Amino acid sequence: MAMHTRTRRTARAMALLLALFAAGPALLLALGSTSARGDWRNATHRPVGLAPDAAAHRDPVVQVYAARTYGWRGAFAVHTWLAAKPRDADRYTRYEVIGWYARAGRSPVSVSDYRAPDAEWFGAPPELLRDLRGAEADAVLAKLESAVSSYPYAGEYTAWPGPNSNTFVAHLGREIPELRLTLPPTAIGKDFLPNNAIVARTPSGTGYQVSLGGLLGISAGGDDGFELNVLGLVTGFDFNAPALKLPGIGRVPALAAPVGPSGVR
């Protein structure tokens, strides 16, 4: 009898925990804060003015962006990508993983310069996560091609729990410490560790994480704060810029501006 009572209590506690984790995405869907309806073919991809004009800004630039994914998935997750240009380059190159490329039999890893670095992602305006210029950008650019080439899932894509676009950008962060990249809690797939690893450095390089296939794990670090991952949904808190991290919602309060390694916002 006592064992059955404990089992019921455990089941109720797990159900409550999952309900709490799902509350944020449910709220966003209820408020209509995602592009849950509409035709993706009519979605916009307009630049939003977060990237300096390549023709006028001759110094090297590296930026990392995140935007809500299209449709109901946007209540849960963002899509992330890196955009960069070397010194004197006239165009930016975008580095990202695009899922439908894999469904068409191609590699999901996309390296292209035909879309603006700060373009909307199917109507969703991007948030600038990282903004490096000059020598700091040069240090990242020196390792970028090698990091892209070493991504172990160039022929695979799974929206949940990974490997997906956020798995790819997290890989770039781990391979390029100079990027010092902290991904938002809504970047589902960032905790899908390469090559079946269970323990790894966080993408920021300032902490460590334990993850079971991106479905269950914890992480802690100087830039990362503390995070608990349950079924890919992340909650936790930030130490440096005090904030809660909530599933679906993200940081509360949000960062006002990205921070580079120099500490300049």
pLDDT tens profile 216-250: 999 999 999 999 999 999 999 998 889 999 999 99
| Mean pLDDT score, 205-210 | 97
pLDDT above 90 (res 15): no
Q: What pairs with residue 65 in β-bridges? A: 81, 128
Please name the amino acid found at residue 229.
Answer: N
For 110, the enclosing helix (H) or strand (E) is strand 109-112
Please name the amino acid found at residue 156.
Answer: E
Structure-block tokens of residue 22: 């799902």
- End-to-end Cα spacing for the chain: 59
Q: In this predicted model, which residue has the larger pLDDT, 83 or 30?
A: 83
Cβ neighbour number for residue 226 with a 10 Å cutoff: 15
pLDDT tens profile 119-149: 999 999 999 999 999 999 999 999 999 999 9
Sign for the pseudo-dihedral over CA of 134, 138, 140, 144: positive
Alpha carbon distance 21, 220 (integer Å):
19
Alpha carbon distance 182, 125 (integer Å):
19
pLDDT above 70 (res 153): yes
Cβ contacts of 137 within 8 Å, gap of 6 or more: 59, 60, 61, 62, 84
**Nearest residue to 230 (alpha-carbon basis) of 243, 240, 245, 241:** 245
3-state SS, residue 47: strand
At residue 118, the pLDDT reads 98
Structure-block tokens of residue 91: 């165009």
Q: In this predicted model, which residue has the larger pLDDT, 27 or 153?
A: 153
At residue 265, the pLDDT reads 36
Burial of 114 (0-12, 13-18, 19+ CB in 10 A): exposed
Rg for the chain, CA atoms, rounded:
19
| Mean pLDDT score, 199-226 | 97
Mean per-residue pLDDT of the chain: 89
Alpha carbon distance 79, 161 (integer Å):
13
The pLDDT > 90 percentage for the chain reads: 74
Q: In this predicted model, which residue has the larger pLDDT, 104 or 7?
A: 104
